[in-house]
């Protein structure tokens, strides 16, 4: 499968919200360890939104 560039709307959404949805890109089972690692690196509790202190926070290295 060849890569497909993001649309202008998707780029704008990413810049504004910090994420973009790409349906069918990978499974939840594949993503879960990455999600867990990101919460750990950010020192956020996935079950406690009060710990999510910033609306957008970029990781330097994952």
Domain boundaries, the chain: 26-62
Rg of the chain over Cα atoms, rounded to whole angstroms, equals 14
- Among 36, 30, 6, CA closest to 20: 6
Cα 37 from chain centre: 11
Give me the helices (H) in 1-62, please.
8-17, 28-42
Eight-class DSSP state of 28: H
**pLDDT of 24-44, one tens digit each?**
889 999 999 999 999 999 999
The pLDDT score that the predictor gives to residue 61 is 62
Asked whether residue 50 carries a pLDDT value surpassing 90, the answer given is yes
- Close Cβ partners of 53 (under 8 Å, ≥ 6 residues apart): 44
CA 18 to chain centre: 7
């Amino acid at each position: 499968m060849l890569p497909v560039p993001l649309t202008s709307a998707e780029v704008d959404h990413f810049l504004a919200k910090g994420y973009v949805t790409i349906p069918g890109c990978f499974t939840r089972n594949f993503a879960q360890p990455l999600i867990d690692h990101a919460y750990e690196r950010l020192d956020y509790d996935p079950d406690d939104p009060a710990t999510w202190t910033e609306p957008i926070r970029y990781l330097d290295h994952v």
